[in-house]
A and B are shown apart, each in its own frame.
Chain A
Amino acid sequence: MLDRLRSPMNAMRGISRAQEVIANNLANIDTAGFRKDRLFFHALDQKMNGKDIQSVQPKQIVQLDEGTYTDSGNTWDFAINGKGFFQVEHNGQYLLTRNGQFNLDADGYLIDGNGGFVQGNAGRIHLPELLQFEDEYEEVIIDVSKDGTIHMNDLVLDKVAMVGVADPNGLERRGNSYFAAMGTGGVFRDNESVLNQGFVETGNVNTLEEMTSMMANLQLFESQQKAMKTTDEILQQVTTRLGRFGNG
């Protein structure tokens, strides 16, 4: 009988997790480069120590479809069209991000919003050319081409690295729009993705989808709760009636 209480309990816990994932997706509607999560449940039916064990396991998948692109007009805003990621060195770790709102720091390094160093052809992108100019009246136009090559007037400075992930299921979230490639194969140089200068990629959260799953989850939660209550009522009947019969 206690199993009958436990299985709706597990289900309710799983649904709560799903709702938390939806809450996080919704809270990040306006986060640039955000990738939504989806929680799936799969039923497991296994034999352990000769006993049949049934359980439902949640499984999380980062949805990598693209967001929408908005024109920002800023020199250091990049948006990737394709499956690639920017590579950023943050606190000694090499992380991935789709958020291309970059800036130049005081030492001429290209950094992201968290102070992480954007990676180029050979490590950090360093553009001291933009800080030390002999002729004050020199005209400077920064142009970043579709493949990530940074041009200053006619000079090629560096190339923004775009990397693909060999195992998208192995992406681990690190907050601040970062991902870490924990799967097998790591990352590889992505030559197919296209970089757009002056654009920001918004998140890929679809409100309609999220609301629908949120409502569906609520219904499921309620039915599990009813199941639990019913079990509870049966248990009560059993204890009171059987007790009366025993005393009878």
Chain B
Amino acid sequence: MFRALKTAALGMSSQQLQVDNIANNLANVNTTGFKRSTIAFQDLYYQTMVSSKRASALNSVNNDGQELQIGHGSRAVSTIRNFTQGSLQDTGNPLDMAINGEGFFQITMPDGKIAFSRDGNFRLNAEGLIVTPNGLPLAQMIEIPQDAVAIQITADGIVSAQISESPQPVELGQIELAKFVNPGGLRALGDNLYEMTEQSGEPFIGMPGLEGYGTVRQSFLEGSNVDIVNEMVGLITAQRSYETNSKMVQTAEDMMRMVNSLKR
């Protein structure tokens, strides 16, 4: 019976992780470019057993006996991120960008590596570079002159600025997007950034507007793709499953008590 107790306890901790993950999804319901995640579970190893020696002898006579395989519960193996499109919200800020499609912005990390982001909430730093709220620059290092009066970003990522003296807007650079064969394999770094892994594969780099990369929309931000109703249903299910597993613990405990009360 101790096995049932431990198995049920593992079931409970699996559900606890499930709730933790849902809590994180819900906490990020208003995070720009946030992608919800789910946890993948697997069953643990199975112990093969034959009830008793006499039984196995009988089974060999009978020849339809089958050995038992008793499982030991479940464990969480990985988090899987879901990269479906979030809704686009109009902000009116000229440096806000949203990707309508599968691409990612490329952000240069302090160590020179490239991180990937769906969060298009950009601003200018003191040097006029387009940076994230944490001060990390876009990999294309687009610099906006100090005397620019208006910034325009086209759907294919070309950034141009209207300089006060010249009547023609000046083209400053083009934003390139990265795309992955398996975005689900990206590792989250926090701050809305992801890094590539073996699972995600090397990024394909392309101009916005090419099929699959998506287009850039200026003055829009992508909301998270967390669906509150979906998460709430998940939360209810996880809570109930937790309860069910706790009932199993209780039942195992009841049975152990019965065994103990055999002896007067």
Contact = CB atoms under 8 A, between A and B. Distances in A.
Chains A and B belong together in one complex:
yes
Interface of A: 10, 12-17, 19-24, 26-32, 34, 37, 39, 44, 46, 48, 53, 55, 57-60, 72-77, 99, 101, 103-106, 113-114, 130-131, 133, 136-142, 169, 172-177, 207, 210-211, 214-215, 217-218, 221-222, 225, 228-229, 232
B204 A136 contact: yes
B181 A26 contact: no
A104 B73 contact: no
CB-based closest 5 A-B pairs: A27-B11, A24-B71, A175-B45, A23-B7, A27-B73
Contacts of B262: 225, 228-229, 232
B201 A104 contact: yes
Contact of A31 (B41, B46, B69, B252): B41
B65 A57 contact: yes
B69 A20 contact: no
A120 B103 CA distance: 29
Nearest to A20: B4
A73 B68 CA distance: 37
Given A34-B43, A130-B181, A177-B42, A19 B73 contact: no
A16 B4 contact: yes
Contacts of A222: 258
Given A57-B65, A139-B212, A218-B254, A30 B181 contact: no
Contact of B42 (A31, A57, A104, A225): A31
Given A24-B7, A106-B198, A173 B248 contact: no
Interface in B56-84: 57-59, 61-62, 65-66, 68-74, 77-78, 80, 82-84
A13 B51 contact: yes
B110 to A, nearest CB: 25
A75 B184 contact: yes
Contacts of B8: 23, 26-27
B7 A16 contact: no
B160 interface: no
Given A58-B68, A106-B198, A225-B259, A20 B62 contact: no
B82 A72 contact: yes
Given A28-B43, A177-B42, A211-B247, A21 B71 contact: yes
A46 B258 CA distance: 31
B84 A73 contact: yes
Contacts of A138: 204
Given A28-B11, A140-B181, A74 B73 contact: no
Contact of A29 (B11, B40, B54): B11
8 contacts: A30-B74, A32-B42, A48-B61, A59-B65, A74-B80, A130-B181, A137-B206, A211-B247
A26 B245 contact: yes
Contact of A173 (B18, B69, B183): B69
Nearest to A228: B262
A15 B58 CA distance: 19
Contact of A60 (B66, B80, B205): B66
B24 to A, nearest CB: 16
B251 interface: yes
B241 A19 contact: no
Contact of A225 (B77, B240, B258): B258
B203 to A, nearest CB: 9
A37 B241 CA distance: 18
Interface string B88-114: 000000000000000000000000000
Given A28-B74, A58-B68, A130 B201 contact: yes
Contact of B18 (A30, A104, A176): A30
A3 to B, nearest CB: 13
Contacts of B57: 48
Nearest to B254: A218
Given A29-B241, A140-B212, A60 B69 contact: yes
B1 interface: yes
A248 B181 CA distance: 92
Contact of B258 (A22, A75, A221): A221
Contacts of A13: 51
